[in-house]
Amino acid sequence: MISVQTADFDIATLYQQITARENNPLGYGAIITFVGKVRDFNLEQEVSALSLEHYPGMTEKTLANISQQAMERWPIATPIIIHRVGELAPGDQIVYIGVASAHRKAAFEACEFIIDFLKTKAPFWKKESNADGDNWLNERESDHQAADKWSQDTSE
């Protein structure tokens, strides 16, 4: 399940969905979730708001493609990927990824794969507002390294 939305998400509802029989027909018992939040209190610089822009259409296609790749690579149920757009405040939830598998290692890897690819392939852009004004965030080399490692990694 893929959703790009301005509304907040409820992790309890999503957890029910990831474990529900229609989504998880084999009753996979290892469930990994990742939630990314707007940093709540930054010691160096107070972030007062975050604005998330995206490319409607391409975003959903990219996330569906990442989800599909993960399902081809690991024995997992259909992942849930939720990403918020629009205006967000410190502490707000931004992104949710939920993965169920019979094998915890597969669930961990698939979940990390999805967020690593989302960070480098999905057309979202973050703009931070603080006392100094607005700043578009720069891409991070560490995110690219994280995504690249999945092409080199030949282990299951």
Partner 1 sequence: MLSIVFFAQTREIIGQGELTLPFESAFSDLEMLRAHLANTNDKWDLALTRDKLLVAVNQEMSPWDTEIKDGDEVAFFPPVTGG
For position 42 contacting a second copy by CB under 8 A, the verdict is: yes
- What tokens appear for 54 in the block? 């995206």
For position 108 contacting partner 1 by CB under 8 A, the verdict is: no
- What tokens appear for 97 in the block? 């990824």
Footprint of a second copy on 128-147 (CB under 8 A): 146
For position 153 contacting a second copy by CB under 8 A, the verdict is: no
Q: 133 burial class (0-12, 13-18, 19+ CB within 10 angstroms)?
A: exposed
Bridge partners (DSSP) listed for residue 54: 124
CB atoms within 10 A of CB 46: 12
For position 101 contacting partner 1 by CB under 8 A, the verdict is: no
Could you say which of 1, 31, 49, 147 contacts a second copy (CB under 8 A)?
31
For position 33 contacting a second copy by CB under 8 A, the verdict is: yes
Could you say which of 93, 127, 129, 130 contacts partner 1 (CB under 8 A)?
127
